[in-house]
Structure 1
Amino acid sequence: MDGFVITPTLDSSHLAAAIEDSQDLLRYAARAGIAIPDATINALVHARTCLASGTVPEADTVAFYAAYATLASRVAPVTVDTLRISNEKTRQNLRRNGMLAVALALVVVVFSGISSVTTSMAQGIQAGITHANELAIHLRAEVGPPKPGSTVETGCGPATMPPDPPLKATDATALIAELQDFAATIRTMLRTATKLDVFVADWEKSPLDPPGAWGANAQERLELQPDLINMRKDSFCKIATYEAVRLFAQNVHADSLAIYGAISAYLLPVLYALLGACAYNLRDFSTRVKRRTYHPSSYANTARTIAAMTVGTIISLFNVFNNSAGLQPLAVAFLAGYGVEAFFAFLDALLTAFSNRGRPAPPAAAA
């Protein structure tokens, strides 16, 4: 029997589909400028002619599949499936991946911004406490102790009498400058701590809450009195005010560190690693679409996303990098999420180094 007639059987339908697929690949090769041997083209075109006539001889079928294999190897990694991906499906996938990346970027920006602001405020509070502690010690030494048993100079309120006993001989201008610096530091610390308290849902109670808690002395506590009749009394008032403000600021600082410190240390590395994975997926998507090798598959993206989450968690829990490049941990997390393969290769090398530690070196080969 020299040939067979194409009938709607499973094998014949597969052959017909393969012939149609070969024509699509052949047209792509012609448009892309990929050189295909003449013998391969002749075998493919002849099979298409035989299919149109309804009869494909067995020898031509064998020649067709051999030519089809040659054509597929020449145009790889482009396949029939990647050529036939509709533009609408491509746009849908791009829109979905783009929206995911934008949403994740917004979350990262919000958390990073809040973390940066709260960290800056906390550092400002800590620096203010350090400076105010030095000023408080120096002022106390400069003004000296009040008269034993007297409470007139140990509280806040209008001064009606000069200091008793009088202040030691000192530079009044320098003392006034220190008092002014002390009062300004207290006001700055209170203002910063009040703003930072907003980020922790007002957990702590400010010395100014409820309004009037300091009574009519609120202004005297926070500002330097213009008359300065008794600089000892004003110094003791500012020190008492500072102690109340310091307690409030330290509590707010601890609350902020507990919340946003944990976010910066554990959540943000995971988010940055996921953002790196999204950036890689978008870049890979763009490259594949341009090269006509894109095939929609959620499994690869899902696997990379899970791997990026794992990488971010590892970076947040362990200092696994010898960060000689001077990169911040969040930058390292982004790069590791973008290139998870390189990160896992690093871990493999690290595991091998630990496994070989303590083992005797192999004996040198004899000359």
Structure 2
Amino acid sequence: MASSLSSIILQNQKASAMTQPDPHGPLCDTPPEHRAPAYFACLINDAERLMQYAAEIGLDVSNETRHAILSARAIYPAEWTEEAAANLLAAVTTLANRLKPVTAESLKAYHDDTRPTVRSYLRIAIVLACIIIPVSVASFVTSALSVAVNADITKANALAVKLRAQLGPPQGPGEALAPLPKGLSEADLISDLQDYASTVRILNARARKLNYFIIPFHRIPSEDTGTPEQRKQRFELPIGIPDPIAARDNITNTYQDVRYFAQSILTDIAVFYGAITSCILPVLYALLGTCAYLLRSFEDQMGSRTFTPSAANSARFLIAAIGGAIIGLFNNFTVSPDASIPPLALAFLVGYAVDVFFAFLEGLLKAFTRNASASNPPPKVGPA
């Protein structure tokens, strides 16, 4: 029983040894003069891919080409000959010339590298979108609120000056109410006071919204703290406005603290989001433009089956980032007297067409070099 089992194991080892491919040849027991180089196995696979694609698109392949490929598959590797290798190389050359720009490598990538490539591009696009969308929204909101806060400060300043001219200086304690100046109606005065108090309340509300977009937060004015009744006394006019001067002074005291609070936030917003808009967002938009270009090129190449993975795509992202950083150094680019391109849109275009942008820079550099050469001609050498 043991001898029969050992004989079976020995037979299996011999069979596996006969089918085990040698790294320098097809079979271990094949004579050296009939061993085929290992790269011919890949060449046969490429030839079969090309022949299959030719059949799919209805391209007529000669019998010699077809026979050379099928024969190479049938005799490889045990009965490999120099004539079979030559016929295979000639067949692959013929198919490659007829199927240009489709290649065996692109056909292999069409079947094997499609999903990994799409996933990598999709992953990059999602990461960029997760950064660009919140930052762009925050920049847009802060920009709109900053413009509104500046307008409120300008309006409140004008109302404060107007009410000071209409009502005069603040009254001391115990002084009688001064009569209204001639030509000033009570309705106009009350309307200005209400507009003044409303502008201060709106300014405070917008400044508090802006405070959420910066870190660290600014301290809220003391007038905006306490109970609702205390806040109402500081921000609202008294019912009936029995003393217009006291009401004006109360709102002015509140406005001074609110204005300081708002202007401090505006300064931080301008620095923080100005740096993001000028230095970070152009780079991100340029990378997004490159991602859009690669996806569009991938779609076209997959349709024509000419896509091949390339390490140059990684370099393209780096070049786009450099171009976006350069674009962030400039302001709006004027296309015509009535149209201009903002830097972020131009950064996206630079990322989408990196080659065009750097060709433009090279042409600009040549123009500067030409002008410098024209302004400094070489000195003339006279006769000895």
Unpaired stretches in structure 2, ≥5 consecutive residues: 1-30, 376-384
Instruction: Kindly provide the amino acid, as one letter, of the partner of residue 247 in structure 1.
Output: Y
How many angstroms apart in 2 are the aligned matches of 1:210 and 1:180?
A: 19
Does residue 228 (structure 1) correspond to residue 241 (structure 2)? The answer is: yes
Identity of aligned residues (%): 37
1:294 Cα offset (Å): 2.6
Q: Is the 8 A contact 2:323 2:347 kept in 1?
A: yes
**Superimposed CA distance per residue, residues 338-358 of structure 1 (whole angstroms, 9 cap, x where no aligned partner):** 111111111112112222225
SS of the equivalent of 2:102 reads coil
User: Does 1:277 pair with 2:302?
Assistant: no
Q: Residue 7 of structure 1 corresponds to which residue in structure 2?
A: 34
From the superposition, tell whether residues 212 and 88 of structure 1 become closer, same or farther in structure 2 (CA, over 3 Å): same
1:26 to 45, 51, 71: 51
Deviation at 1:84, TM superposition (A): 2.4
2:353 matched to which residue of 1? 339
**CA spacing shift, 1:227–1:209, aligned 2, 3 Å:** closer
Give the C-alpha shift of residue 276 in structure 1. 0.9
- CA shift, 1:274, in A, is 0.9
Q: Does 1:268 align with 2:281?
A: yes
Q: Is the 8 A contact 1:311 1:333 kept in 2?
A: yes
Using the size of structure 1 for normalisation, the TM-score is 0.82
Q: Deviations over 1:42-93 (max 9, x none)?
A: 65566667769935464x6545434422321222332222222375642233
Partner of 1:163: 177
- Structure-2 residue corresponding to 1:138: 162
Distance 1:20 1:109 in 2: 46
Q: In the alignment, residue 365 of structure 2 is paired with which amino acid?
A: L
Report the secondary structure of 2:328's partner residue: helix
CA contact (8 A) 1:5 1:54 kept: no
Q: CA deviation at 1:171?
A: 1.4
AA paired with 2:139? Answer: S
1:243 match: secondary structure: helix
1:274 aligned partner, one-letter code: L
Shift of 1:210: 7.7
Q: Which residue does the alignment assign to 2:214?
A: 200
- Over 3 Å counting, the alpha-carbon distance change for 1:67 and 1:92 in structure 2 is closer
**1:157 matched to which residue of 2?**
none
Structure 1, unaligned runs of 5 or more: 153-159, 362-367
Please report how far the alpha carbon of residue 258 of structure 1 lies from its aligned counterpart in structure 2 after TM superposition: 1.4
Equivalent residue letter for 2:262: A
Question: Aligned in 2, Cα 1:268/1:280: closer, same or farther, shift over 3 Å?
Answer: same
- Partner residue, 2:79: 54
The answer to whether 1:312 aligns with 2:324 is: yes
In structure 1, the partner of 2:262 is: 249
Quick check: 1:76 aligned with 2:89? no
How far apart are residue 16 of structure 1 and its match? 5.2
Q: Equivalent residue of 2:340, what SS? A: coil
Asked if structure 2 preserves the Cα contact closer than 8 Å seen for 1:187 and 1:222, the reply is: yes
Contact 2:35 2:80 in 1 (8 A): no
Structure 1 position 301 matched with structure 2 position 333: no
Quote the Cα distance in structure 2 between the aligned partners of 1:37 and 1:344: 47
Q: Which has the higher contact order (CA 8 A, sep 6+)?
A: 1
Deviation at 1:332, TM superposition (A): 0.9
Contact persistence 1:5–1:56 (CA under 8 A): no
Shift of 1:237: 2.0
Are the aligned partners of 1:5 and 1:55 in contact in 2 as well (CA < 8 Å)? no
Q: Distance in 2 between matches of 1:319 and 1:195?
A: 28
Partners of 1:199 and 1:15 lie apart in 2 by: 64
> Structure 1 residues 126-135 or 67-76, which shifts more?
67-76
Q: Report deviation, 1:280.
A: 1.6
Is residue 162–residue 229 contact of structure 1 (8 Å, CA) maintained in 2?
no
CA distance in 1, matches of 2:230, 2:268: 29
Distance of 1:34 and 1:318 partners within structure 2: 54
* Residue of structure 1 equivalent to 2:368: 354
